[in-house]
Amino acid sequence: MLKVYIVDDEPFARDELKYLLSRSKQVNILGESSSVRSAAKEIPELMPDLVFLDIELAGDSGLNLAKQLESLEPSPAIVFATAYDEYAVRAFDLNAVDYVLKPFDEERIQKTLDKVKKIREIENKTIPFHPSIKNDRNGKIAVSVDERIVLISLTDILYLESFEGKTTIKAVKQEYTVSDALVLLEKKLSHNQFLRVHRSYIVNMDYIAEIEPWFNSTYNLILKDGSKVPVSRTYVKDMKNFLGI
């Protein structure tokens, strides 16, 4: 079932769209909103797969909301649902998966759902990957842990994760939580071995076992220990260049 959220300032339009979506029996409508402000608050909390978004909203534009939603990890697929066709080019510049015009047609809405479903099926297929990345540095990184200085071999680090102002270093046999910002630790890491793949993650590319396409042009890196590290759309190009794919 696709998790759907609807943003439209016309109650009748929301009710019509909800009715057509419910008839498909393919969606779970998580919520709805009449404004960009309330939608921007609720969508990150509900994490829908798909947002039906009107463009001309009272006092604001759905295009602005679409730009905000791009920063979510993972970001939802966007379908612009509007009475105006002049925004189509700008909408697809924001990576919208579809653009439907009012008044809504049941067959057209079904085609949109089929399109989103097909995209999800393709992106959810796991692609095995066997990298042959060589590391030209066999050093260590010094970090402060509980008032102690700990030396960690770079070759033992699987990934680093930033959360609430601290950084967790996931090593083969142990985890370390340090107060150093991820950006500072990044400067100490080998650029031939480590790569930032997300605003909150740096991964040791030597430990990649598979690359799993995810929703909305993002990926998951599956590491040799089974861990999953997300790759956001911002860093997909860097990852592909690094791996030569």
Residue 66 near residue 93, CB atoms below 8 Å: no
Q: Which CATH architecture has domain 2-123?
A: 3-Layer(aba) Sandwich (3.40)
Domain spanning 128-243: CATH 2.40.50.1020: yes
pLDDT value at residue 136: 39
Ranges of residues in the chain with a pLDDT under 50 are 126-138
For 94-101, which contacts have Cβ atoms below 8 Å and span 24 or more sequence positions? 94/63, 94/66, 94/67, 94/70, 95/70, 95/216, 95/217, 96/66, 97/50
pLDDT at residue 31 in the model? 95
The tokens for 181 are: 């910002």
The domains of the chain are located at 2-123, 128-243
The pLDDT value recorded for residue 50 is 94
Same fold, 2-123 and 128-243: no
- Peptide bond preceding 103 in cis form (omega within 30 of 0): yes
Cα separation of 98 and 40, whole Å?
20
pLDDT for the residue 95: 66
Contact criterion met (CB below 8 Å) for 55 and 62: yes
pTM over 0.95: no
